[in-house]
Structure 1
């Protein structure tokens, strides 16, 4: 069943409750993550976008009140033109109720949305209309303590068959990056 914006979705559009958010915020601070853009994580996002062919790639840390893309690869202008002719660009921060990463964090497992409009729970998300997001592939960044720090994700403005290969790529990329982030924090080594 495809999403029909004329039908009420009720609770489907709610971002799931994140009971680990306070502990995650503390863990992120201890690891020195999510406080600002990180050029190394930007390069990581650039490589991820190139590897998957996606126009957007992010390393996203989720705090108590919002999300922060410490690593971001995005086009210079957004694909969706507003009524005033502007094309909004994805910035470094986003409210928790925008996008799909908060769902990945709470679920603690990867999420594949090949065509967002096929999923009523996700099709009404603000990023669909604001930025034209149509497909998503993301996996949680889980550290050795079992804490989900955030996500690694790629997004496209067209429906996309990510397939099993895409799922395995994003999952292994997330696991590798989570280990590197901890090593960097512990030892001071670059990614």
Structure 2
């Protein structure tokens, strides 16, 4: 009974690590929860499959209720299209829980996975995966290879996956730096306060896309005339990223120059 209680305590602590608000926020902030991110890593998952001989390779981000496949090779068409499974079918969750590599020759030979959804519903029989961490040490998910048949993984499999996971981690750090830059630029386009009209009030609420490479060139501004009326400018530059944000900054500056000139004339 004491062993069972100890195991229950350990599993509860692991579950807390998966559901940690800080870790979940880091997953969202990573930029790894969109189809556009997968295109950056397609070569890595293909390489993992080729070098290990595994028919399936995944970069899997683990959230509270699902695992999201940022990149994959070898999944059935329906899973490849949905890019996710419920958390009940995620072996990668165990990698996140333990923060350590997981190597399974036969899921059915491990009591943790005999009735696991990955085996009973997806037909996965062998698994090898390693953690993917961000710059703050949060375990976001796993880089893994899988097989629908039992197999003994080569001794170098874990080392290979750790090297590939390191490439992903470096890319996440770079993306976060990029997103911080773009977010800062776009924030500068949004005035903290709008010019109040002579009658009534004027308020604005802006909610940019969070943790996405698709931050773009939205902006607005207001200009009060001598008679108390207010001119409002709304802008949206086509495209996304630093270039669009910079273009929006230039347009906003031009609008300020135009309206300031009109008021003085």
Task: With the length of structure 1 as denominator, give the TM-score of the two structures.
Answer: 0.77
Distance 1:70 1:128, change over 3 A: same
Q: Is 1:62 matched with 2:53?
A: no
- Distance in 1, matches of 2:157 and 2:148, equals 16
Question: 2:26 matched to 1:27?
Answer: yes
Q: What is the DSSP-based 3-state SS (H/G/I as helix, E as strand, rest coil) of the residue aligned with 2:155?
A: helix
Q: Is the contact between residue 52 and residue 154 of structure 2 (CA under 8 Å) also seen in structure 1?
A: no
Alignment match, 2:15: 17
Backbone CA RMSD of aligned residues = 2.3
CA distance in structure 1 between the aligned counterparts of 2:79 and 2:34, rounded to whole angstroms: 21
> Residues 97-152 of structure 1, C-alpha deviation per residue, up to 9 Å, x if partnerless?
21310000010000000111111111211121222211000000012211111110
**Gap change, CA 1:106 and 1:115, over 3 Å in 2:** same
Query: Match for residue 143 of structure 1?
Result: 134
1:43 to 2:43 alignment: yes
Gaps of 5+ in 1: 1-10, 78-87
**Comparing both structures, which one devotes a greater share of its residues to helix?**
2
Gap runs ≥5 in structure 2:
1-7, 180-265
For residue 183 of structure 1, report the CA deviation from its aligned partner: 1.8
Runs of 4+ displaced beyond 2 Å: 18-22, 28-31, 41-44, 88-91
Greater C-alpha radius of gyration: 2
Larger RCO, structures 1/2 (Cα 8 Å, 6+ apart): 1
Where does residue 238 of structure 2 map in the other structure? none
